[in-house]
Chains A and B, each alone.
Chain A
Amino acid sequence: MNTETVSLSVTELQTIAKKLRRDIVTMIGKAGSGHPGGSLSAVEIVTALYFKVMRHKPDDPHWSERDRFVLSKGHSAPVLYSALAESGYFPTGELPTLRKFGSSLQGHTDCNCTPGVEMSAGSLGQGLSFSIGIALAGRLNKQNYHVYTLLGDGECEEGQVWEAAMAAAHFKIDTLTAIVDKNGLQIDGWTKDIMNTEPFAEKWQAFGWHTIEIDGHNFNQLIGAFEQAKTIKGKPTVIIAHTIKGKGISFMENNVDFHGKAPNPAQVEQALKELT
């Protein structure tokens, strides 16, 4: 289905986004553990990629020309699982097995367990480097796939992210687009209080990246940014997507408690009511 950019409208993308949110809340609720906040903030980013921007074949996860999505913040696995299931990599009926013994849906992403998952993650800070490797292989093979890497804003406190930022610019990798889910929160609180990363865009610029700042819940802005990124040559692009952690569910929005806590059954019910 998604071998070529599909022509979904923004309204249709919004409908899919809502489905993803419902999946996320339901599966984490069912699992009784997991990280809803950072999955919910990334819904539009991931929806835009899987249902609009990326060239990929859900029935052929290893298609060598596919665009790659690398989830560096592996704790946001639910948003990826939901997008993969909804686009046809595996049945949506598997989603409720999240985190269960014997499930293909591991607590943090595992590339050997789940079709469509490109990277095993869970230890923050490694995905951008990993993506450089994938992009360099594409260059050597004269393939023209694009690599999209989703990072958390707290994750950007890891030194390795900046090693990778330096290297991607040094190697002039223009087939790599990083997206930072800038929801402002990490585990212990607001990123600006825990370890201030500002001035953030300027850091990426100083490291040699083309930098775009957008509202990460706005599909037009997301799609525009992804289109612009593909036209930038000779350097990588970062899209700093301003988002709301827990987006779409009133009692989770900007609530640090829901970084890594599952909603209880009543909260799941309440959340699903809000997502109709």
Chain B
Amino acid sequence: MGRTASFREAYGKTLLDLGKENPDIVVLDADLSHSTMTYYFADQFPERFFNCGIAEQNMVSIAAGLAISGKIPFASTFAVFAPGRCFDQIRVSVAQPHLNVKIVTTHSGLTVGEDGASHQAIEDLSLMSSLPGFTIIVPADAIETAQAVRTAATNKGPFYIRLCRPEGTLVYDEKYRFNLGKANVLKAGSDATIIAIGLLVAPAIEAAENLERQGVDCRVLNMSTLKPIDETAINQAAMETGAIVTAEEHLEHGGLGSAVANVVAKNYPVPVEMVALKNTYARSGKPAELLEKYGLTTKGIEQAVRRVLERKIC
């Protein structure tokens, strides 16, 4: 495994930089600033940082009021609490008026680990994907996180950026340029395509490398912009490789798997296998133990590729 880095650190430091560059950047948090890493910004710009206390609904609506007044608010908490605790506020105060609010959450997915099911956000992408006009980004590593946060700051409209708690393998180096709305091709291939997001991108690459040694040539796409999804890249994957595997740290309903299947079904139906949680809540455990149990691993992805190849119509 390669070098690792923290998504959250990347977020916090990027916010700090953005704060120096643009006086309209403001940051809100709900008593988790040392976990979401917004405290870097808070320490440097206390007058532009609003700790709303443990009141996520209030935080989101305040952010909306700041946005309509020309500020660029970043509001952060854990992914279970936004959208979980404030979906209606996001829907009515942010999505419907299409305000320039950036919701950046951390501790998403199973890898929050020991805290257990209440703290494992496995539905957030489904909830957020349902909102018209929201842009959703799930960065693959710390480098992409920094760039995605910058992109959100400079593009008008509501954004949801989903980060995780643990450090993750660096998929990219500093030369990488995040391209909003475009899947990033990490490996060319023609037998099948693995489309992954977040922490599952690194295992997807590893799975493709393992499979290559066994004579299976997989394309790997990082679909970091989950919404609006890159339909062209999916269509090409379907047409050129004829089989697709998706991989995400989320329920298969309403997340990446659903979004990809939606495009595939409409345009060029090919078999799709989903590496995701299936209609279940998880429990406490070490992140690696949980990922292992639910097959959200390199091995799980390899097995899914084997399954999809069996279903592939040649």
Contact = CB atoms under 8 A, between A and B. Distances in A.
A112 to B, nearest CB: 6
Contacts of B58: 129, 132, 160, 163-164, 167
B97 interface: yes
A123 B66 CA distance: 19
A138 B69 contact: yes
Contact of B62 (A120, A121, A167): A167
Given A129-B61, A133-B64, A134-B68, A163 B93 contact: no
Main secondary structure of the interface of B (DSSP, over half): helix
A34 to B, nearest CB: 19
Given A126-B89, A133-B67, A160 B61 contact: yes
Nearest to B60: A129
B92 A122 contact: yes
Interface in B106-158: none
A111 B68 contact: yes
A125 B61 CA distance: 10
A45 B73 CA distance: 32
B65 A163 contact: no
A166 B54 CA distance: 11
B97 A160 contact: no
Interface in A153-196: 159-160, 163-164, 166-167, 170-171
Contacts of A257: none
B53 A166 contact: yes
Nearest to B70: A137
A163 B57 CA distance: 8
Nearest to A64: B70
Given A112-B98, A123-B92, A140-B26, A130 B53 contact: no
Interface string A101-129: 00000000011100000111111011101
B55 A163 contact: yes
Contacts of B70: 137, 141
A122 B67 CA distance: 19
A163 B55 CA distance: 6
Contacts of A160: 55, 57-58, 61, 89
Given A136-B50, A166-B53, A110 B97 contact: yes
The 4 nearest A-B residue pairs measured at CB:
A133-B65, A129-B61, A137-B69, A163-B58
5 contacts: A123-B88, A123-B89, A133-B64, A133-B67, A138-B69
Interface of A: 110-112, 118-123, 125-127, 129-138, 140-141, 159-160, 163-164, 166-167, 170-171
Given A123-B89, A126-B61, A133-B68, 8 more contacts: A119-B68, A129-B65, A130-B62, A134-B68, A141-B69, A163-B55, A163-B58, A164-B62
